[in-house]
Amino acid sequence: MADWWRGAVVYQIYPRSFQDSDGDGIGDLPGITARLPHIASLGVDAIWLSPIFKSPMADMGYDVSDYCDIDPLFGTLADFDALLARAHELGLKVIVDQVISHSSDQHPAFVESRQSRTNPKADWYVWADPQPNGAPPSNWLSVFGGSAWEWDSRRRQYYLHNFLTSQPDFNFHNPEVQDYLLDTMRFWLDRGVDGFRLDTVNYYFHDAQLRDNGPEPREENLPPANPYEMQDHEYSKCRPENLPFLERMRAMLDEYDDRSMVGEVGEGPRRALRIMEEYTAPGRLHMAYSFDMLGPKFTPAHFRSRIEGFFAAAPEGWPMWAFSNHDVIRHVSRWAEYGAQDAVAGLAAAMLLSFEGSICLYQAEELGQTETDIEYHELTDPPGFRFWPDYKGRDGCRTPMVWDGSAQAGFTSGTPWLPVKPPQRARNVAAQEAPGSVLNLYRALLDWRKGSALRDGRSVFFDVPDPVLAFRRDGAAGSVLCVFNLSDAPVTLRVKGLAALEGPQSGAVLKGGALTLAPCGWVWSHCDAGVTAA
């Protein structure tokens, strides 16, 4: 199906933490292959593998040294081929993480580039002379703290790194770089992958004039823990030159059948919708992965504004929504104040899987997994070391998958690279095979969603008072009414034109046109296109 990605549910796997097959404490490709039946049992459409390419692992694989090989930590190309074949047998598409805005400083091209200003790779990365006083060429900041410029004594120049100093940025203004990176993507397309998740897709190009960024408007009096948030990154990313390169990528994918690209759009709220609109215009990305629902906001107005705002700005575009991923606090912990863990987990599942767009689930989300409390001596994440304790890094959402109640949760026979702690172990897969679990709720919702208007129907939102979010999805398969109570107290609202509840629900009672929802209650119900709520 050419548009399989439209309305699809993608399951994100963090390979280091999914399943270890050889006892070294780090997850690997054979381990993932062995556990694919669990993912298939959920009823999702595809898997997304976070980085698995060869890397020194300074940023857990987001620093690539060889784009056409598997890192030995995870296995071999033969292991990848076996995983791909097994996933396809189970009806799962496979998307790989493509990190091309920057490479590792151990990539052969950078090793050569830094040797001189005249070698064949001299212009493959972003190099610039210092200012007369020795200062960096511009005021650009790194996401991971400090200047985005690092001095190199061999070339007597600075190089650009939007992340770690060991992650130099490619110079996309050089056509040779574009051609090289497209060739690395073609390598995986020829191998049979179904698409790419494009990391930091709006970081590819920089302002060729190296103009200074201005301040980002802020309401807070104190600076944030990371001053990167204080800058308007107008010149260091989101440059207009990005768009023709996206079109080159799309043209390449269109040479193959049924492939897709989703771009991670890391951008603040002022520009996020505009960038998502531009990047998903016809002939560019198939989907834009949004950060808009990965924060603390948990209000009907916020969720409604993101969905309505996207489709108003990009009527021909397509979003991918997520509540959790490998970079943020798990949403059951992030939104803990709104109800009990299982109740919040169930409410979040029902909301996310009803939103117009494609959906991304992060591993263990189907268990209602919570954030792990990481101590300083357990840290592995570079930003955690730099900004502790105000920001503890991303390790807390990256701890191993919990398969059973044993000491290492069935993840490894060795010592896991991050700890498995009792609160997380308690929410294991084996224990949740029982009726009424969060896991079985995900399975039921994903099954019901298939063939319904929740996959590709359009949204009609209703003006209802807080804390209720209510809308109808209208599609070729009919209409579905979706109503959610985003609070820990019961609520009642009026529903017109609905005789009975026909679909999954939690704590919902319809009587005489009055719909009462328990704390964190919700309902999906088949309905006529004229049903409204007020």
Q: What is the pLDDT of residues 481-515, one digit of tens each?
A: 999 999 999 999 999 999 999 999 999 999 999 99
The first and second tokens of residue 55, run together, are 């890397």
49 closest CA partner among 213, 196, 173: 196
Question: Which pair of structure tokens corresponds to residue 304?
Answer: 């409604």
Q: Does the pLDDT value for residue 1 go beyond 70?
A: no
Type of residue numbered 99: V
Tokens 């940025």 -> residue: 169
For β-strands 287-289 and 260-264, DSSP reports them as: parallel
Q: What is the mean pLDDT of residues 214-229?
A: 88
Q: What is the mean pLDDT of residues 399-404?
A: 98
- Going by pLDDT thresholds of 50, 70 and 90, the confidence category of residue 265 is confident
CB 481 within 8 A of CB 468: no
Q: Where are the domains of the chain?
A: 9-101+175-205+241-380+429-449, 458-533
Number of Cβ within 10 Å of residue 297's Cβ equals 15
- Asked whether the CA dihedral 52, 55, 61, 67 is positive or negative, the reply is negative
Torsion sign over Cα 228, 234, 236, 239: positive
Q: Tell me, what DSSP letter sits at residue 447?
A: H
Residue type, 234: E
Lowest mean pLDDT among 155-164, 351-360, 378-387, 522-531: 378-387
Look up residue 318 and give its two tokens. Answer: 């397509």
The residue among 91, 41, 31 whose CA lies nearest residue 417 is 31
pLDDT of residue 222: 81
Superfamily of chain region 9-101+175-205+241-380+429-449? Glycosidases (3.20.20.80)
- Report d(CA 23, CA 36) in Å as an integer: 19
Angle between helix 300-313 and helix 272-279 axes, rounded to 10 deg:
40
Q: Which residues contact 346 (CB under 8 A, 6 or more apart)?
A: 368, 438, 441, 506, 520, 522
Asked whether the CA dihedral 324, 326, 332, 338 is positive or negative, the reply is negative
Q: Got the DSSP string for 83-126?
A: HHHHHHHTT-EEEEEE--SB--TTSHHHHHHTT-SSSTTTTSB-
Rounded to an integer, what distance in angstroms lies between the CA atom of residue 253 and that of residue 185?
9
The predicted-structure confidence for 19-33, as pLDDT tens digits, reads as follows 999 999 999 999 999
Residue type (1 letter), 137 = P
Average pLDDT over residues 36-54: 98
- d(C-alpha 171, C-alpha 235), whole Å: 14
Helix (H, G, I), strand (E, B), or coil: what is residue 193? coil
**What is the mean predicted confidence (pLDDT) over 462-487?**
97
Beta bridge partners of 393: none
The pair of three-digit structure tokens given for residue 10, joined into one six-digit string: 């993608």
What is the rounded distance in angstroms from the CA atom of residue 308 to the CA atom of residue 287? 16
Please determine, for residue 2, whether its predicted confidence score (pLDDT) is greater than 90.
Answer: no
Q: What is the pTM of this model?
A: 0.97
Which pLDDT belongs to residue 26?
Answer: 98
Give DSSP secondary structure letters for 1-49. -TTTTTT-EEEEE-GGGT--SSSSSS--HHHHHHHHHHHHHHT-SEEEE
CB proximity list for 182: less than 8 A, separation 6 or greater: 248, 249, 252
Residue type, 88: H
Catalytic residues, which ones? Answer: 199, 255
Tell me: the pLDDT tens digits for 81-106? Answer: 999 999 999 999 999 999 999 999 99
Contact 524, 480 (CB under 8 A): yes
Label residues 336-360 b or e (16+ Cβ within 10 Å = b).
eebbebbbbbbbbbbbbbbbbbbbb
Alpha carbons 155 and 118: distance in angstroms, whole number: 10
Q: CA–CA separation, 88 vs 86, rounded Å?
A: 5
**Stretch 352-371: mean pLDDT, rounded?**
98
Average pLDDT over residues 240-257: 98
CA–CA gap between residue 415 and residue 411 (Å, rounded): 10
Distance CA 532, CA 506 (A): 20
Q: What is the C-alpha separation between 116 and 534, in angstroms, rounded?
A: 68
Supply the mean pLDDT for the chain.
96
Residue (of 214, 205, 211, 210) closest to 232 by Cα position: 214
pLDDT of residue 271: 81
Cis bond leading into 467, ω under 30°?
yes
- In this predicted structure, the answer to whether residue 391 has a pLDDT above a threshold of 90 is no
Range 122-158 burial, b when 16+ CB lie within 10 A, else e: bbbbbbeeeeeeeebbbbbbbbbbebbbbebeebebb
φ, ψ of residue 512 in degrees (nearest 5): 60, 35
Summarize pLDDT for 124-161 with one digit per residue, the tens.
Answer: 999 999 999 999 999 999 999 999 999 999 999 999 99
**What average pLDDT does this structure show over 400-417?**
97
Contacts of 375 (CB under 8 A, 6+ apart): none
Distance CA 146, CA 212 (A): 15
Instruction: Give the mean model confidence (pLDDT) for residues 181-191.
Output: 98
Quick one: three-class SS letters along 263-311?
A: EECCCCCCCHHHHHHHHCCCCCCCEEECCCCCCCCCCHHHHHHHHHHHH
At residue 266, does pLDDT exceed 90? no
DSSP class of residue 210? -
Give yes or no for residue 178 having a pLDDT over 80. yes
| C-alpha span between 43 and 41 (Å, rounded) | 5
CATH of domain 458-533: 2.60.40.1180
Provide the 3-class DSSP secondary structure of residue 386: helix
In Å, how far from its chain's centre is CA 473?
Answer: 24
